[in-house]
Amino acid sequence: MTYIAGVDIGNSTTEVCVGEADLNGSIHFLTSSSCPTTGTKGTLSNTHGIKTALKQAMSKINRNMEDITLIRLNEAAPVIGDTAMETLTETIITDSSMIGHNPSTPAGAGQAVGEILLIDNLSRGVSGTAYIVAAPSSFSYEEVAALLNQSADSLDITGVILQADEAVLVENRLHKKVPIIDEVARINKLPDGVPAAIEVALPGQTIRMLSNPYGIATLLHLNAEETRTVTPIAKSLIGKRSAVVLKTPGGNVRENALPAGEIYLEAENSTSINLDEGAEKIMQVVSDAGNIRDLSGQPDTNVGNMFNRIKKGMSEVDNIPDADIHITDILAVDTMAPVLISGALAGETCLEKAVGIAAMVKTQQLPMQKIAEILKSELHTDVKVAGVEAVMAGLGALTTPGTKLPLAILDMGGGSTDAAVISEEGRVIMTHQAGAGELVSMLIETELGLSDRHMAEQIKKYPLAKVESLFHMRMENGQMTFVDESIDPRFYGRVVLLAEEGFIRIEEDIPMEKIVQVRQDAKRKVFVTNAFRALQKVAPDHDLKNISNVVLVGGSAEDFEIPEMLMDEFSNYRIVCGRGNIRGQEGPRNAVATGLVLSYAGEIQ
Protein backbone atom coordinates (compact mmCIF):
# COMPACT_ATOMS: atom_id res chain seq x y z
CA MET A 1 0.00 0.00 0.00
CA THR A 2 1.22 3.52 -0.84
CA TYR A 3 -0.12 6.00 1.71
CA ILE A 4 0.34 9.68 0.83
CA ALA A 5 -0.20 12.30 3.54
CA GLY A 6 -0.69 15.99 2.75
CA VAL A 7 0.10 18.32 5.65
CA ASP A 8 -1.05 21.97 5.75
CA ILE A 9 0.50 24.05 8.55
CA GLY A 10 -1.67 27.10 9.21
CA ASN A 11 -1.36 29.97 11.67
CA SER A 12 -3.93 28.33 13.97
CA THR A 13 -4.55 24.79 12.72
CA THR A 14 -2.50 21.96 11.21
CA GLU A 15 -4.54 19.80 8.84
CA VAL A 16 -3.80 16.37 7.37
CA CYS A 17 -5.29 14.44 4.46
CA VAL A 18 -4.31 10.81 3.78
CA GLY A 19 -4.91 9.04 0.47
CA GLU A 20 -3.98 5.71 -1.02
CA ALA A 21 -2.24 5.78 -4.43
CA ASP A 22 -2.34 2.86 -6.89
CA LEU A 23 0.28 2.07 -9.53
CA ASN A 24 -1.39 4.34 -12.07
CA GLY A 25 -1.24 7.28 -9.68
CA SER A 26 -4.97 7.34 -8.97
CA ILE A 27 -5.84 8.52 -5.48
CA HIS A 28 -8.40 7.03 -3.12
CA PHE A 29 -8.93 9.36 -0.14
CA LEU A 30 -9.00 7.56 3.19
CA THR A 31 -9.05 9.94 6.14
CA SER A 32 -8.29 13.42 7.46
CA SER A 33 -7.64 15.17 10.78
CA SER A 34 -6.71 18.51 12.29
CA CYS A 35 -5.15 19.82 15.50
CA PRO A 36 -3.90 23.20 16.81
CA THR A 37 -0.61 24.36 15.27
CA THR A 38 2.23 24.12 17.78
CA GLY A 39 4.48 27.18 17.83
CA THR A 40 4.65 29.94 15.23
CA LYS A 41 3.83 28.86 11.70
CA GLY A 42 7.01 27.97 9.80
CA THR A 43 9.18 27.13 12.83
CA LEU A 44 10.58 23.83 14.08
CA SER A 45 7.98 23.74 16.88
CA ASN A 46 5.43 22.82 14.20
CA THR A 47 6.70 19.22 14.14
CA HIS A 48 4.83 18.35 17.36
CA GLY A 49 1.48 19.40 15.89
CA ILE A 50 2.23 17.64 12.59
CA LYS A 51 2.94 14.33 14.33
CA THR A 52 -0.21 14.66 16.46
CA ALA A 53 -2.38 15.29 13.39
CA LEU A 54 -0.76 12.41 11.45
CA LYS A 55 -1.27 10.03 14.37
CA GLN A 56 -4.95 11.02 14.65
CA ALA A 57 -5.53 10.51 10.93
CA MET A 58 -3.83 7.11 10.72
CA SER A 59 -5.56 5.82 13.85
CA LYS A 60 -8.91 6.36 12.11
CA ILE A 61 -7.95 3.66 9.57
CA ASN A 62 -6.19 1.51 12.19
CA ARG A 63 -2.72 2.27 10.88
CA ASN A 64 0.48 3.70 12.38
CA MET A 65 2.39 6.80 11.26
CA GLU A 66 5.21 4.50 10.15
CA ASP A 67 2.92 3.08 7.45
CA ILE A 68 2.93 6.42 5.58
CA THR A 69 4.98 6.22 2.38
CA LEU A 70 5.30 9.94 1.69
CA ILE A 71 4.49 13.13 3.62
CA ARG A 72 3.98 16.27 1.50
CA LEU A 73 4.24 19.67 3.26
CA ASN A 74 2.94 23.03 2.05
CA GLU A 75 5.56 25.59 1.04
CA ALA A 76 4.07 28.82 2.38
CA ALA A 77 5.33 28.56 5.94
CA PRO A 78 7.85 31.47 5.73
CA VAL A 79 4.92 33.88 5.42
CA ILE A 80 3.15 34.65 8.70
CA GLY A 81 0.70 37.28 9.86
CA ASP A 82 1.03 39.58 12.86
CA THR A 83 -1.24 42.28 14.24
CA ALA A 84 -0.86 45.41 16.33
CA MET A 85 -3.05 48.30 17.45
CA GLU A 86 -1.65 51.80 17.46
CA THR A 87 -3.57 54.66 19.13
CA LEU A 88 -3.24 58.02 17.41
CA THR A 89 -4.21 60.32 20.28
CA GLU A 90 -4.34 60.12 24.04
CA THR A 91 -6.41 62.18 26.45
CA ILE A 92 -4.34 62.98 29.53
CA ILE A 93 -6.12 64.32 32.61
CA THR A 94 -3.89 65.48 35.43
CA ASP A 95 -4.33 66.30 39.13
CA SER A 96 -7.30 63.91 39.42
CA SER A 97 -9.46 66.35 37.48
CA MET A 98 -12.31 63.92 36.89
CA ILE A 99 -13.84 60.59 37.61
CA GLY A 100 -16.70 59.16 35.66
CA HIS A 101 -17.70 55.60 35.17
CA ASN A 102 -20.68 53.39 34.46
CA PRO A 103 -21.64 51.29 37.52
CA SER A 104 -24.69 49.11 37.15
CA THR A 105 -26.15 50.16 40.52
CA PRO A 106 -26.15 53.94 41.08
CA ALA A 107 -29.06 55.28 43.13
CA GLY A 108 -31.21 58.35 43.01
CA ALA A 109 -31.31 60.65 39.99
CA GLY A 110 -30.41 64.20 39.00
CA GLN A 111 -27.45 66.53 39.36
CA ALA A 112 -25.74 67.85 42.46
CA VAL A 113 -22.95 70.36 43.07
CA GLY A 114 -20.86 70.75 46.21
CA GLU A 115 -17.47 70.48 47.85
CA ILE A 116 -15.98 67.02 48.38
CA LEU A 117 -16.21 66.10 52.08
CA LEU A 118 -14.76 62.82 53.31
CA ILE A 119 -17.15 61.01 55.63
CA ASP A 120 -14.46 60.98 58.35
CA ASN A 121 -14.62 64.79 58.34
CA LEU A 122 -18.39 65.26 58.61
CA SER A 123 -17.89 67.04 61.94
CA ARG A 124 -15.81 69.72 60.17
CA GLY A 125 -18.60 70.62 57.76
CA VAL A 126 -20.23 74.05 58.09
CA SER A 127 -23.82 74.99 57.47
CA GLY A 128 -24.63 76.92 54.32
CA THR A 129 -22.07 75.03 52.21
CA ALA A 130 -23.18 72.27 49.81
CA TYR A 131 -21.25 68.99 50.19
CA ILE A 132 -20.80 65.76 48.26
CA VAL A 133 -19.79 63.12 50.80
CA ALA A 134 -17.22 60.44 49.89
CA ALA A 135 -17.22 57.16 51.87
CA PRO A 136 -14.59 54.39 51.60
CA SER A 137 -15.53 50.69 51.80
CA SER A 138 -14.30 50.55 55.42
CA PHE A 139 -17.69 52.08 56.32
CA SER A 140 -20.65 49.69 56.01
CA TYR A 141 -23.81 50.88 54.26
CA GLU A 142 -25.59 51.04 57.65
CA GLU A 143 -22.84 53.28 59.05
CA VAL A 144 -22.85 55.54 55.97
CA ALA A 145 -26.64 55.94 56.04
CA ALA A 146 -26.67 56.57 59.81
CA LEU A 147 -23.96 59.25 59.61
CA LEU A 148 -25.67 60.98 56.68
CA ASN A 149 -29.05 60.96 58.47
CA GLN A 150 -27.44 62.42 61.61
CA SER A 151 -25.91 65.26 59.57
CA ALA A 152 -28.93 65.92 57.33
CA ASP A 153 -30.32 68.74 59.49
CA SER A 154 -27.04 70.55 60.11
CA LEU A 155 -25.30 70.09 56.71
CA ASP A 156 -26.42 70.55 53.09
CA ILE A 157 -25.49 67.12 51.67
CA THR A 158 -26.32 67.10 47.92
CA GLY A 159 -24.74 63.82 46.80
CA VAL A 160 -22.69 60.76 47.83
CA ILE A 161 -19.75 58.84 46.34
CA LEU A 162 -19.15 55.28 47.60
CA GLN A 163 -16.22 52.94 47.13
CA ALA A 164 -18.34 49.82 47.71
CA ASP A 165 -21.15 48.56 45.46
CA GLU A 166 -23.82 49.72 47.92
CA ALA A 167 -25.56 52.79 46.45
CA VAL A 168 -29.07 51.31 46.56
CA LEU A 169 -28.60 49.94 50.10
CA VAL A 170 -27.53 53.39 51.34
CA GLU A 171 -30.31 55.24 49.52
CA ASN A 172 -33.00 52.96 50.96
CA ARG A 173 -31.96 54.10 54.44
CA LEU A 174 -31.67 57.85 53.81
CA HIS A 175 -34.34 60.25 55.04
CA LYS A 176 -33.31 62.82 52.42
CA LYS A 177 -32.79 61.28 48.96
CA VAL A 178 -29.74 62.41 46.97
CA PRO A 179 -27.87 61.09 43.87
CA ILE A 180 -25.39 58.36 44.83
CA ILE A 181 -22.72 56.66 42.71
CA ASP A 182 -20.64 53.69 43.81
CA GLU A 183 -17.80 51.36 42.74
CA VAL A 184 -15.16 54.13 42.76
CA ALA A 185 -12.07 52.04 43.44
CA ARG A 186 -9.50 54.70 44.36
CA ILE A 187 -11.74 56.91 46.46
CA ASN A 188 -8.86 57.68 48.83
CA LYS A 189 -7.36 59.87 46.07
CA LEU A 190 -10.36 62.24 46.11
CA PRO A 191 -9.09 65.68 47.16
CA ASP A 192 -11.02 67.02 50.17
CA GLY A 193 -12.63 70.44 49.83
CA VAL A 194 -12.63 70.86 46.06
CA PRO A 195 -15.78 71.72 44.06
CA ALA A 196 -17.42 68.76 42.30
CA ALA A 197 -20.48 68.02 40.19
CA ILE A 198 -22.29 64.69 40.33
CA GLU A 199 -24.96 63.30 38.02
CA VAL A 200 -27.02 60.09 38.04
CA ALA A 201 -29.36 59.38 35.11
CA LEU A 202 -32.83 57.87 35.33
CA PRO A 203 -33.06 54.10 34.63
CA GLY A 204 -32.65 53.41 30.93
CA GLN A 205 -31.16 56.85 30.25
CA THR A 206 -27.66 58.32 30.22
CA ILE A 207 -26.26 61.48 31.80
CA ARG A 208 -26.82 64.78 29.95
CA MET A 209 -25.11 67.60 31.86
CA LEU A 210 -21.67 66.10 32.55
CA SER A 211 -21.37 64.65 29.02
CA ASN A 212 -21.78 68.19 27.67
CA PRO A 213 -18.88 70.69 28.10
CA TYR A 214 -21.37 73.53 28.55
CA GLY A 215 -23.23 71.44 31.13
CA ILE A 216 -20.01 71.08 33.12
CA ALA A 217 -19.39 74.81 32.73
CA THR A 218 -22.87 75.55 34.05
CA LEU A 219 -22.52 73.36 37.14
CA LEU A 220 -18.93 74.34 38.01
CA HIS A 221 -19.02 77.98 36.80
CA LEU A 222 -16.23 77.66 34.22
CA ASN A 223 -15.02 80.40 31.88
CA ALA A 224 -14.62 79.90 28.12
CA GLU A 225 -10.99 78.70 28.32
CA GLU A 226 -11.77 76.24 31.11
CA THR A 227 -14.78 74.96 29.14
CA ARG A 228 -12.53 74.23 26.15
CA THR A 229 -10.16 72.20 28.31
CA VAL A 230 -12.94 70.01 29.79
CA THR A 231 -14.16 68.91 26.35
CA PRO A 232 -12.16 65.61 26.51
CA ILE A 233 -13.76 64.93 29.92
CA ALA A 234 -17.24 65.44 28.51
CA LYS A 235 -16.42 63.22 25.54
CA SER A 236 -15.25 60.38 27.78
CA LEU A 237 -18.52 60.52 29.77
CA ILE A 238 -20.88 60.11 26.81
CA GLY A 239 -23.21 57.16 27.36
CA LYS A 240 -22.49 56.84 31.11
CA ARG A 241 -25.17 56.18 33.71
CA SER A 242 -23.40 58.25 36.35
CA ALA A 243 -20.40 60.54 36.65
CA VAL A 244 -18.49 63.01 38.80
CA VAL A 245 -16.31 65.90 37.62
CA LEU A 246 -13.95 67.65 40.03
CA LYS A 247 -12.61 71.18 39.68
CA THR A 248 -9.14 70.90 41.22
CA PRO A 249 -6.91 73.93 41.88
CA GLY A 250 -4.25 73.94 39.20
CA GLY A 251 -5.77 70.85 37.59
CA ASN A 252 -5.51 70.90 33.84
CA VAL A 253 -6.56 68.81 30.92
CA ARG A 254 -4.67 68.56 27.69
CA GLU A 255 -5.05 66.41 24.62
CA ASN A 256 -1.65 65.13 23.60
CA ALA A 257 -1.17 63.92 20.03
CA LEU A 258 1.30 61.05 20.20
CA PRO A 259 3.80 60.68 17.34
CA ALA A 260 2.03 58.08 15.23
CA GLY A 261 4.83 58.13 12.67
CA GLU A 262 5.46 57.55 8.99
CA ILE A 263 5.26 54.20 7.17
CA TYR A 264 8.05 53.80 4.60
CA LEU A 265 7.34 51.54 1.62
CA GLU A 266 10.25 50.05 -0.32
CA ALA A 267 8.48 49.00 -3.50
CA GLU A 268 8.16 49.49 -7.24
CA ASN A 269 6.97 53.00 -6.42
CA SER A 270 8.68 53.72 -3.11
CA THR A 271 6.80 56.23 -0.96
CA SER A 272 5.67 56.98 2.59
CA ILE A 273 2.43 57.70 4.45
CA ASN A 274 1.72 59.02 7.95
CA LEU A 275 -0.34 56.79 10.22
CA ASP A 276 -2.44 59.86 11.13
CA GLU A 277 -3.86 59.85 7.60
CA GLY A 278 -6.07 56.89 8.55
CA ALA A 279 -6.62 53.42 7.14
CA GLU A 280 -8.23 54.39 3.83
CA LYS A 281 -5.35 56.58 2.68
CA ILE A 282 -2.77 54.09 3.97
CA MET A 283 -4.34 51.28 1.93
CA GLN A 284 -4.52 53.49 -1.17
CA VAL A 285 -0.78 54.17 -0.88
CA VAL A 286 -0.09 50.43 -0.37
CA SER A 287 -2.13 49.66 -3.50
CA ASP A 288 -0.38 52.30 -5.61
CA ALA A 289 3.09 51.17 -4.49
CA GLY A 290 3.01 47.95 -6.54
CA ASN A 291 5.01 44.92 -5.40
CA ILE A 292 6.36 45.69 -1.92
CA ARG A 293 9.83 44.47 -0.98
CA ASP A 294 9.76 45.74 2.61
CA LEU A 295 7.93 48.08 4.97
CA SER A 296 9.43 49.99 7.86
CA GLY A 297 8.38 52.76 10.23
CA GLN A 298 9.77 56.07 11.39
CA PRO A 299 12.14 55.52 14.34
CA ASP A 300 10.84 56.32 17.84
CA THR A 301 7.20 56.46 16.79
CA ASN A 302 4.26 54.14 17.36
CA VAL A 303 4.33 52.60 13.91
CA GLY A 304 8.13 52.36 13.85
CA ASN A 305 8.16 50.53 17.17
CA MET A 306 5.39 48.23 15.96
CA PHE A 307 7.23 47.13 12.80
CA ASN A 308 10.47 46.66 14.78
CA ARG A 309 8.59 44.56 17.31
CA ILE A 310 7.13 42.33 14.58
CA LYS A 311 10.51 41.75 12.94
CA LYS A 312 12.22 41.16 16.26
CA GLY A 313 9.56 38.63 17.25
CA MET A 314 10.06 36.67 14.03
CA SER A 315 13.83 36.82 14.48
CA GLU A 316 13.59 35.42 18.00
CA VAL A 317 11.30 32.48 17.24
CA ASP A 318 13.52 31.07 14.51
CA ASN A 319 16.94 32.72 14.88
CA ILE A 320 16.65 34.55 11.56
CA PRO A 321 18.89 37.60 10.97
CA ASP A 322 16.95 40.87 10.87
CA ALA A 323 18.25 41.55 7.37
CA ASP A 324 16.42 38.45 6.09
CA ILE A 325 13.02 39.52 7.47
CA HIS A 326 10.74 41.68 5.33
CA ILE A 327 7.21 42.99 5.79
CA THR A 328 5.65 42.52 2.36
CA ASP A 329 2.05 43.63 2.97
CA ILE A 330 -0.15 45.35 5.55
CA LEU A 331 -3.87 45.75 6.08
CA ALA A 332 -4.81 48.92 7.98
CA VAL A 333 -8.24 49.30 9.60
CA ASP A 334 -9.72 52.36 11.30
CA THR A 335 -11.09 51.62 14.76
CA MET A 336 -11.61 53.10 18.22
CA ALA A 337 -9.45 52.00 21.14
CA PRO A 338 -10.11 52.65 24.84
CA VAL A 339 -7.27 54.70 26.38
CA LEU A 340 -6.79 54.74 30.16
CA ILE A 341 -7.20 58.31 31.41
CA SER A 342 -4.31 59.47 33.59
CA GLY A 343 -5.55 60.73 36.95
CA ALA A 344 -8.88 58.92 36.75
CA LEU A 345 -10.02 57.28 39.97
CA ALA A 346 -12.08 54.33 38.73
CA GLY A 347 -9.99 53.07 35.81
CA GLU A 348 -11.95 55.20 33.33
CA THR A 349 -11.09 55.06 29.65
CA CYS A 350 -11.79 57.33 26.73
CA LEU A 351 -12.33 56.00 23.20
CA GLU A 352 -9.74 57.45 20.86
CA LYS A 353 -9.06 57.05 17.16
CA ALA A 354 -6.74 54.14 16.40
CA VAL A 355 -5.47 52.14 13.45
CA GLY A 356 -5.34 48.35 13.61
CA ILE A 357 -2.65 46.85 11.40
CA ALA A 358 -2.02 43.30 10.23
CA ALA A 359 1.46 42.79 8.77
CA MET A 360 2.74 40.01 6.52
CA VAL A 361 6.25 38.90 7.41
CA LYS A 362 8.41 37.00 4.93
CA THR A 363 11.88 35.54 5.44
CA GLN A 364 14.58 34.56 2.99
CA GLN A 365 15.15 31.20 4.65
CA LEU A 366 13.03 28.14 4.04
CA PRO A 367 12.38 26.66 7.50
CA MET A 368 10.00 24.11 5.92
CA GLN A 369 13.03 22.22 4.62
CA LYS A 370 14.32 21.93 8.21
CA ILE A 371 10.91 20.67 9.35
CA ALA A 372 10.94 18.08 6.55
CA GLU A 373 14.38 16.83 7.60
CA ILE A 374 13.35 16.45 11.26
CA LEU A 375 10.16 14.55 10.35
CA LYS A 376 12.12 12.29 8.00
CA SER A 377 14.62 11.33 10.69
CA GLU A 378 12.00 10.86 13.43
CA LEU A 379 9.35 8.99 11.42
CA HIS A 380 11.71 7.17 9.01
CA THR A 381 9.43 8.25 6.18
CA ASP A 382 10.07 10.19 2.99
CA VAL A 383 9.08 13.87 3.48
CA LYS A 384 8.87 16.46 0.70
CA VAL A 385 8.10 20.18 0.62
CA ALA A 386 5.69 19.87 -2.25
CA GLY A 387 3.71 22.91 -3.29
CA VAL A 388 2.78 26.56 -2.89
CA GLU A 389 -0.12 26.97 -0.48
CA ALA A 390 -2.46 28.94 -2.75
CA VAL A 391 -1.96 26.48 -5.65
CA MET A 392 -2.64 23.49 -3.41
CA ALA A 393 -5.74 25.20 -2.03
CA GLY A 394 -6.96 25.65 -5.60
CA LEU A 395 -6.50 21.95 -6.38
CA GLY A 396 -8.33 21.00 -3.20
CA ALA A 397 -11.14 23.48 -3.93
CA LEU A 398 -11.75 21.79 -7.31
CA THR A 399 -12.99 18.71 -5.42
CA THR A 400 -16.00 20.81 -4.33
CA PRO A 401 -19.09 19.57 -6.22
CA GLY A 402 -20.28 22.05 -8.84
CA THR A 403 -16.90 23.66 -9.60
CA LYS A 404 -14.86 23.78 -12.79
CA LEU A 405 -12.00 25.73 -14.35
CA PRO A 406 -11.42 28.65 -14.53
CA LEU A 407 -11.75 29.01 -10.77
CA ALA A 408 -10.84 31.58 -8.12
CA ILE A 409 -10.27 30.60 -4.50
CA LEU A 410 -10.08 32.65 -1.31
CA ASP A 411 -8.23 30.90 1.50
CA MET A 412 -9.17 32.78 4.68
CA GLY A 413 -7.17 31.69 7.70
CA GLY A 414 -6.04 33.19 10.98
CA GLY A 415 -3.15 35.39 9.87
CA SER A 416 -3.56 35.89 6.13
CA THR A 417 -6.03 35.87 3.25
CA ASP A 418 -4.65 34.11 0.18
CA ALA A 419 -6.21 34.22 -3.28
CA ALA A 420 -5.51 32.31 -6.49
CA VAL A 421 -7.03 32.12 -9.93
CA ILE A 422 -6.56 28.90 -11.94
CA SER A 423 -7.13 29.30 -15.69
CA GLU A 424 -8.59 26.65 -17.98
CA GLU A 425 -5.03 25.85 -19.09
CA GLY A 426 -4.00 25.29 -15.46
CA ARG A 427 -1.97 28.50 -15.07
CA VAL A 428 -2.09 29.91 -11.53
CA ILE A 429 -1.84 33.53 -10.35
CA MET A 430 -1.76 33.99 -6.58
CA THR A 431 -1.29 36.52 -3.80
CA HIS A 432 -0.84 36.57 -0.03
CA GLN A 433 -2.58 39.39 1.87
CA ALA A 434 -2.05 40.43 5.48
CA GLY A 435 -5.08 40.29 7.74
CA ALA A 436 -7.65 37.61 8.58
CA GLY A 437 -9.27 36.07 11.64
CA GLU A 438 -6.69 37.24 14.20
CA LEU A 439 -7.13 40.89 13.22
CA VAL A 440 -10.92 40.52 13.53
CA SER A 441 -10.48 39.14 17.06
CA MET A 442 -8.19 42.04 17.97
CA LEU A 443 -10.69 44.62 16.70
CA ILE A 444 -13.52 42.98 18.67
CA GLU A 445 -11.41 42.82 21.83
CA THR A 446 -10.30 46.44 21.52
CA GLU A 447 -13.57 48.10 20.57
CA LEU A 448 -15.59 46.23 23.21
CA GLY A 449 -12.92 46.72 25.90
CA LEU A 450 -12.81 42.99 26.69
CA SER A 451 -10.46 41.62 29.31
CA ASP A 452 -9.06 38.76 27.22
CA ARG A 453 -8.59 37.67 23.60
CA HIS A 454 -10.29 34.30 24.12
CA MET A 455 -13.68 35.94 24.69
CA ALA A 456 -13.18 38.00 21.52
CA GLU A 457 -12.52 34.75 19.62
CA GLN A 458 -15.76 33.30 20.98
CA ILE A 459 -17.75 36.41 20.05
CA LYS A 460 -16.34 36.17 16.53
CA LYS A 461 -17.45 32.55 16.17
CA TYR A 462 -20.95 32.38 17.66
CA PRO A 463 -24.30 34.23 17.38
CA LEU A 464 -25.79 36.03 20.40
CA ALA A 465 -28.97 35.93 22.44
CA LYS A 466 -30.36 37.75 25.49
CA VAL A 467 -31.91 35.48 28.14
CA GLU A 468 -35.06 37.39 29.12
CA SER A 469 -36.69 34.73 31.31
CA LEU A 470 -35.93 31.20 32.43
CA PHE A 471 -37.96 29.87 29.49
CA HIS A 472 -37.28 32.22 26.59
CA MET A 473 -34.56 34.33 25.01
CA ARG A 474 -34.35 36.98 22.30
CA MET A 475 -31.96 36.15 19.47
CA GLU A 476 -29.74 38.82 17.91
CA ASN A 477 -32.02 38.89 14.84
CA GLY A 478 -35.03 39.74 17.04
CA GLN A 479 -36.55 36.26 16.98
CA MET A 480 -38.02 34.98 20.27
CA THR A 481 -37.04 31.41 21.18
CA PHE A 482 -38.82 29.38 23.87
CA VAL A 483 -37.32 26.33 25.58
CA ASP A 484 -38.94 23.31 27.23
CA GLU A 485 -36.53 23.03 30.14
CA SER A 486 -35.65 25.89 32.45
CA ILE A 487 -32.51 27.87 31.53
CA ASP A 488 -29.77 27.92 34.17
CA PRO A 489 -30.54 30.95 36.42
CA ARG A 490 -26.96 32.25 36.16
CA PHE A 491 -27.74 33.20 32.53
CA TYR A 492 -30.88 35.15 33.45
CA GLY A 493 -30.82 38.71 32.13
CA ARG A 494 -27.43 38.19 30.49
CA VAL A 495 -26.15 38.26 26.92
CA VAL A 496 -24.93 34.78 25.93
CA LEU A 497 -23.14 33.15 23.02
CA LEU A 498 -24.89 30.17 21.42
CA ALA A 499 -21.98 27.73 21.23
CA GLU A 500 -22.30 24.06 20.23
CA GLU A 501 -21.57 22.88 23.76
CA GLY A 502 -24.04 25.29 25.38
CA PHE A 503 -24.34 28.92 26.46
CA ILE A 504 -21.26 31.08 27.09
CA ARG A 505 -22.04 34.07 29.32
CA ILE A 506 -20.51 37.44 28.45
CA GLU A 507 -19.37 38.89 31.75
CA GLU A 508 -19.04 42.50 30.56
CA ASP A 509 -22.23 44.53 30.70
CA ILE A 510 -22.40 45.40 26.99
CA PRO A 511 -25.69 45.68 25.05
CA MET A 512 -26.24 42.81 22.62
CA GLU A 513 -26.83 45.24 19.75
CA LYS A 514 -23.43 46.86 20.25
CA ILE A 515 -21.63 43.50 20.29
CA VAL A 516 -23.35 42.50 17.05
CA GLN A 517 -22.46 45.80 15.38
CA VAL A 518 -18.79 45.66 16.44
CA ARG A 519 -18.48 41.99 15.35
CA GLN A 520 -20.02 42.54 11.93
CA ASP A 521 -18.11 45.78 11.30
CA ALA A 522 -14.81 44.06 12.18
CA LYS A 523 -15.50 41.21 9.75
CA ARG A 524 -16.44 43.60 6.96
CA LYS A 525 -13.39 45.79 7.54
CA VAL A 526 -11.05 42.79 7.35
CA PHE A 527 -12.59 40.04 5.21
CA VAL A 528 -14.65 42.02 2.69
CA THR A 529 -11.83 44.54 2.21
CA ASN A 530 -9.20 41.81 1.86
CA ALA A 531 -11.35 39.65 -0.44
CA PHE A 532 -11.70 42.49 -2.96
CA ARG A 533 -8.05 43.48 -2.56
CA ALA A 534 -6.81 39.92 -3.13
CA LEU A 535 -9.09 39.05 -6.04
CA GLN A 536 -8.36 42.30 -7.89
CA LYS A 537 -4.66 41.40 -7.76
CA VAL A 538 -5.14 37.96 -9.30
CA ALA A 539 -8.13 38.60 -11.62
CA PRO A 540 -7.43 38.74 -15.38
CA ASP A 541 -6.71 42.41 -16.23
CA HIS A 542 -7.27 43.11 -12.49
CA ASP A 543 -11.02 43.29 -13.16
CA LEU A 544 -13.39 41.35 -10.88
CA LYS A 545 -15.87 41.03 -13.76
CA ASN A 546 -13.44 38.55 -15.34
CA ILE A 547 -14.02 36.12 -12.45
CA SER A 548 -17.11 33.92 -12.58
CA ASN A 549 -16.65 31.53 -9.63
CA VAL A 550 -15.11 31.98 -6.18
CA VAL A 551 -14.75 29.13 -3.69
CA LEU A 552 -14.16 30.10 -0.06
CA VAL A 553 -11.85 27.79 1.90
CA GLY A 554 -9.93 27.94 5.17
CA GLY A 555 -10.97 28.22 8.80
CA SER A 556 -12.70 31.58 8.48
CA ALA A 557 -14.90 30.23 5.66
CA GLU A 558 -16.62 28.15 8.36
CA ASP A 559 -17.81 31.36 10.02
CA PHE A 560 -21.58 31.69 10.36
CA GLU A 561 -21.77 35.05 8.57
CA ILE A 562 -18.58 35.84 6.59
CA PRO A 563 -19.51 33.73 3.50
CA GLU A 564 -22.93 35.40 3.36
CA MET A 565 -21.30 38.84 3.60
CA LEU A 566 -18.98 38.02 0.69
CA MET A 567 -21.76 36.40 -1.33
CA ASP A 568 -23.81 39.56 -1.00
CA GLU A 569 -20.90 41.82 -2.00
CA PHE A 570 -19.85 39.67 -4.99
CA SER A 571 -23.41 39.42 -6.30
CA ASN A 572 -22.96 42.90 -7.78
CA TYR A 573 -20.29 41.41 -10.07
CA ARG A 574 -22.38 38.32 -11.02
CA ILE A 575 -19.83 36.10 -9.26
CA VAL A 576 -20.94 32.71 -7.93
CA CYS A 577 -19.48 32.64 -4.41
CA GLY A 578 -19.87 30.19 -1.57
CA ARG A 579 -18.20 27.91 0.96
CA GLY A 580 -16.16 25.11 -0.48
CA ASN A 581 -17.01 21.50 0.34
CA ILE A 582 -13.70 19.75 -0.08
CA ARG A 583 -14.08 16.19 -1.43
CA GLY A 584 -17.82 16.67 -0.91
CA GLN A 585 -17.48 16.04 2.84
CA GLU A 586 -14.93 18.28 4.57
CA GLY A 587 -16.65 21.64 4.19
CA PRO A 588 -14.21 24.53 3.55
CA ARG A 589 -11.47 22.85 5.59
CA ASN A 590 -8.65 20.61 4.36
CA ALA A 591 -8.28 22.23 0.91
CA VAL A 592 -4.48 22.61 1.01
CA ALA A 593 -3.87 19.16 2.51
CA THR A 594 -6.16 17.59 -0.11
CA GLY A 595 -4.39 19.53 -2.87
CA LEU A 596 -1.02 18.23 -1.70
CA VAL A 597 -2.22 14.63 -2.08
CA LEU A 598 -3.78 15.36 -5.50
CA SER A 599 -0.59 17.03 -6.72
CA TYR A 600 1.26 13.76 -6.05
CA ALA A 601 -1.05 12.02 -8.52
CA GLY A 602 -0.28 14.72 -11.07
CA GLU A 603 3.48 14.23 -10.65
CA ILE A 604 3.20 10.45 -11.05
CA GLN A 605 1.09 10.75 -14.17
Chain-centre distance for alpha carbon 73: 30
Spans of the chain below 50 pLDDT: 77-78, 89-98, 100, 252-255
In the prediction, which pLDDT does 260 show? 76
Q: Which residues of 450-476 are buried (b: 16+ CB within 10 A; e: fewer)?
A: beeeebbbbbbbbbbbbbeeeeebbeb
Q: Which residues of 390-401 are buried (b: 16+ CB within 10 A; e: fewer)?
A: bbbbbbbbbbbe
In the prediction, which pLDDT does 203 show? 83
**How does pLDDT run across 139-161, given as a tens digit for each residue?**
999 999 999 999 988 999 999 99
Q: Do 155 and 242 sit in the same domain of this protein?
A: yes
In the prediction, which pLDDT does 253 show? 45
Could you give the percent of the chain with pLDDT greater than 90?
Answer: 48
Instruction: Please check whether residue 74 is in contact with residue 8, taking contact to mean a CB–CB distance below 8 angstroms.
Output: yes
Q: Do 437 and 500 sit in the same domain of this protein?
A: yes
Which CATH number does the domain housing residue 565 bear? 3.30.420.40
In the prediction, which pLDDT does 345 show? 53
Q: In which order are the strands placed within the sheet that holds 576-579?
A: 428-434, 416-422, 407-412, 549-553, 576-579
Q: What span, in angstroms and rounded, lies between the C-alpha atoms of 6 and 13? A: 14
Side-chain half-sphere exposure of 276, counting CA atoms within 13 A = 9
**How does pLDDT run across 203-241, given as a tens digit for each residue?**
888 899 988 999 999 998 888 888 887 777 787 788 888
In the prediction, which pLDDT does 54 show? 96
In the prediction, which pLDDT does 92 show? 41
Q: Do 127 and 154 sit in the same domain of this protein?
A: yes
In the prediction, which pLDDT does 300 show? 80
Q: Do 510 and 430 sit in the same domain of this protein?
A: yes
Q: How many domains does the chain have?
A: 4
Per the structure, the complete domain to which residue 105 belongs is given by 93-254
Q: Do 246 and 279 sit in the same domain of this protein?
A: no
In the prediction, which pLDDT does 384 show? 92
In the prediction, which pLDDT does 413 show? 85
Chain-centre distance for alpha carbon 482: 32
Which CATH number does the domain housing residue 324 bear? 3.90.470.30
In the prediction, which pLDDT does 101 show? 52
In the prediction, which pLDDT does 22 show? 84
Which CATH number does the domain housing residue 228 bear? 3.50.30.70
